[in-house]
Chain A
Amino acid sequence: MEYERAVYEQDFLLLSYSRMGFFINRSQFSGSTSLENVKKIKSPLPYFDSIFTYNGEKVLLFDCDAFLTAGYRCENEGSSRLCLLMKTSDFGPSNRPAISSLLGNNPALSQEFLGLIITSRAEITKIRIDEIFLTPPGIREPLKKRGLYGCRFSGDREIQFYIDLEITVLNIMKRKAG
């Protein structure tokens, strides 16, 4: 009897940078929109320093693009930037108080959405699960805590990291300003 291995795949958002990419589970955000009327605000948290208007509400923005280029030392080759929308209700139950506390500090901000600035070189793509490798066991746990689960290689010259959007956002929120 012959057995065939089941193939699993998932929709991911793939963000492309020079020699590097990032893929994010599609279920971690509710939608995307273009960035308009972005205003800088004073914030003690790095990368949470702007807002924009969406459906008449002021939405706090997390500059995911700046975080990725600085944290992973990659270059953005996109010409403009887009915005992902995360619903605060979609955060895990244990993380909801933290996000509510952040947004609750400013009642003028939308309590329903958090915006994430991303590169314009973004596309939704299906990725086979068996193409993804977890990070090496010796460093897996600390990387997982920072929202980095694994990677896959695209040719010899490019790596694509599998990151968790929610953990990434929460880790930055937990950082002290400075």
Chain B
Amino acid sequence: MSSPRKIENNQEILKRIENSRSDSQNKDEAITIRLEKYMIIRIKDKKYALHADDVREIIGGIPIFFVPFTPSYIRGFINRHGEPYTVIDLTVLFERENLDSTTYLILKKDDDQLAILISDVLEIVKLPETELHKISSSINEDDYFIGSISPQEQEEIFVLNLQNVLKKLEADLSGV
């Protein structure tokens, strides 16, 4: 450890005190930066992200059973431990095409049994919350994305706004 340097000039001492205070504040700020955990998924040929906390489980290899009287982006039910889970196909919502897959993200929801059909899970990344580039300051009801993240340079991945997807489902079902 190096020995402390002597400062004799009062002005310099005051400046140093000021600087040391502001350095310590910056350190405190750095400590309180929240890290968000995102799950990067692939749906068809596109990458999307969602908050990892929204996902309970990833399951695969089980069939979807068609259920009538629902919007086309509801592909049906899957059997998770004997209970039916509603499967949402975002490809139908975004591109009007069915996704051919049997991999599902079971969403962590206490008041519903929902799953999202995906192609696969790519990785889980931790990023400071400031790394989320919001699309706009206020999110419209029809925005299916909160914003985007760039875990790797030159790659922008849209973060899904699941709440608005579910709001759309609720609105569409009210007209069924």
Interface residues in chain A, defined as those with a beta carbon under 8 Å from any beta carbon in chain B:
19-20, 71-73, 133, 135-139, 141-143, 146, 148, 150-153, 156-157, 159
Contact = CB atoms under 8 A, between A and B. Distances in A.
A152 B82 CA distance: 7
Contacts of A71: 68
Contact of A137 (B62, B63, B113): B113
A153 B81 CA distance: 10
27 contacts: A19-B63, A20-B65, A71-B68, A72-B67, A72-B68, A73-B68, A133-B82, A133-B84, A136-B86, A137-B112, A137-B113, A138-B112, A138-B113, A138-B169, A138-B173, A139-B70, A141-B173, A142-B174, A142-B176, A148-B69, A151-B65, A151-B84, A153-B79, A153-B82, A156-B79, A159-B65, A159-B84
Q: How large is the interface on B (under 10, 10 to 19, 20 to 34, 35 or more residues)?
A: 20 to 34
A136 B85 contact: yes
A41 B169 CA distance: 40
- Binding site secondary structure of chain A: mixed
Interface of B: 62-63, 65-70, 74, 77, 79, 82-86, 111-114, 166, 169-170, 173-174, 176
Contacts of B114: 136, 138
Nearest to A70: B68
Given A135-B84, A136-B85, A137-B113, A156 B62 contact: yes
Most interface-central of A73, A133, A153, A156 (chain B CB within 10 A): A153
